[in-house]
Chain A
Amino acid sequence: PQSIFQAYAKFSGAPLTVNTIINPWKAPIGDVPVLISEDIVISQPAKILNFLRKQKYNADYELSAKQGADTLAYIALLEEKLLPALLHTFWVESENYCSVTKPWFASRIAFPLSLYLPGKMSREALNRILLTRGGPPIYTLTEVEAQIYRDAKECLNLLSKRLGTSQFFFGDTPTTLDAFVFGFLAPIYKVCFPRVQLQEHLKQLHNLCRFCDEILTCYFRLTVSGHSPAGQDTADANLQKLTQLVNKESNLIEKMDDNLRKSPQHPPRKLTTLKLAAGGEESSPLNRLSP
């Protein structure tokens, strides 16, 4: 979800400051991501986007009514078909979860929350998958998994067909839909998991890979061919890539990331909350406006 907002904010030119959330309990509602602007706190994705739009940071200005309707429909498609598989890859698939997601997540939040929160998120993800997809005639978890990956691959195919050869989904400028698709695809594309069936499928859809790469290079100023920090294994290198994807380019934040990763048990020096500020705010050492 974080990548969706950052992508959207980049597309629409909203000045955005992102701070890493170290302690989710300190976040206003315990929910990430959170938008804080002049005392108004908003925490759900659609509402955050609406808020940004009302503040006149609108990436959809050029869209016709029909295209706006299409946006809503495709977002529904993503949430129904792709999200379960995404949740599964990150939080439920045991190899992925144990070797990548959990250490990464736990290294970024304070002890002892790091012991409890990843497990909770994993349980919630599994719960959501089972409740929405696990009814009869599917009775075992393997069948559910097979079904959700089938649906996800079909969804990726549909997206690929819809994108075709265009640069973005609605012509030459990116819109909300592009932000959403990017937000869903980028983690699949970039994070290196042990079990990668979805990533392999995605890599076969060249126009979607090109779409992600273009947004990364144009809007996030990252090089597509990542480099491995010396002395760390491949998993960590990709974690760092993902971290950069989630955080804004800020030297201070990156330094903090390195410190955290090296000493996961130490409480962070500064507790900051994830802030996506649409308006101007008093600057603190960690804030940096990036247009």
Chain B
Amino acid sequence: AAEPWPENAALYQQLKEEQILLSDNASSLAVQAFLQMCNLPIQVVCRANAEYMSPSGKVPFIHVGNQVVSELGPIVQFVKAKGHSLSDGLDEVQKAEMKAYMELVNNMLLTAELYLQWCDDITVEEITHPRYGSPYPWPLNRILSYQKQWEVRRKMKAIGWAGKTLEQVLEDVDQCCQALSQRLGTQPYFFNKQPTELDALVFGHLFTILTTQLTTDELSEKVKNYSNLTAFCRRIEQQYFEGHDRDSSTTVAARSAKRSLLR
């Protein structure tokens, strides 16, 4: 028996203005979009130690009733157990395709975001280090961000991305966007009329990339090359995020302005 969705469900992420990084913001936005698409109300709560509160060490995580679930995959399953699903209407082959594309986004886009913010020295110096430890006093802020950097670089090395140059990473991003653009075509959503978790995931990543100001614009330029992807992001933003208190477009614009000022 599924319990009803409580009113006080909360989504936890890092501090929006000062602390959160590109990849975490993308993941968080994806979950928010997904819950919006399911019509499940959620409150976004920003905490400096969100990463440590999370059961898997990754943000975002949601606190619903007396359960805590983190990351999009488990959250989708959790929501399904409560009786809400976006992908029930798909047949088996489409579900396989959807899972494959979600892996593509995680494999390429998320890894590229992580690479950019932790392995590209300029970005690390100018944006990541200042932001990541910002809620904490010195020397804790430096220690935490170096620790995280070491962890991410170790993982990059294990999967073979450590040897890549920035150009190669951007090329991978381009290839991924091309695949997404070709798959989307002229449809409103990836599986025609109804959005699914894949749409939420793609939106989370692409919207974040498009609206975050980094040291260079190369990453967002790669996405902007594909007009159907930018139209897709705008469409979802208008449909699911406008008219709410947390109007993403304005806060994100303010955030990106602040990001460029942070040195």
Q: Which residues of A contact B (CB under 8 A)?
A: 44, 65-66, 68-70, 72-74, 76-77, 79-81, 124, 127-128, 131-132, 135-137, 158-159, 161-162, 164
Contact = CB atoms under 8 A, between A and B. Distances in A.
B182 A66 contact: yes
Interface in B90-120: 92-93, 95-97, 99-101, 103-104, 106-108
Contact of B92 (A66, A81, A131, A161): A161
B79 to A, nearest CB: 19
A76 B158 contact: no
Interface residues of B, number: 30
A77 B103 contact: yes
B57 A136 contact: yes
Contact of A131 (B56, B57, B104, B154): B154
B80 interface: no
Nearest to B156: A131
Contact of A135 (B56, B104, B159, B160): B56
B163 to A, nearest CB: 9
Contacts of B183: 66, 69-70, 73
A73 B159 contact: no
A162 B96 contact: yes
B22 interface: no
A150 B55 CA distance: 21
A90 B96 CA distance: 26
Interface of B: 55-58, 92-93, 95-97, 99-101, 103-104, 106-108, 154-155, 158-160, 175-176, 178-180, 182-183, 185
A128 B158 contact: yes
18 contacts: A66-B182, A69-B178, A69-B182, A69-B183, A73-B101, A73-B179, A73-B183, A74-B100, A77-B99, A79-B107, A80-B107, A81-B103, A127-B158, A128-B158, A131-B154, A131-B159, A158-B95, A158-B96
B108 A76 contact: yes
B182 A131 contact: no
Contacts of A70: 97, 100, 183
Contacts of B179: 68-69, 72-73
A242 B95 CA distance: 33
Contacts of A127: 158
A25 B257 CA distance: 51
B103 A135 contact: no
Contacts of B99: 77, 158
Contacts of B178: 69
A73 B182 contact: no
B171 to A, nearest CB: 10
Contacts of A132: 155, 158-159
Contacts of A124: 158
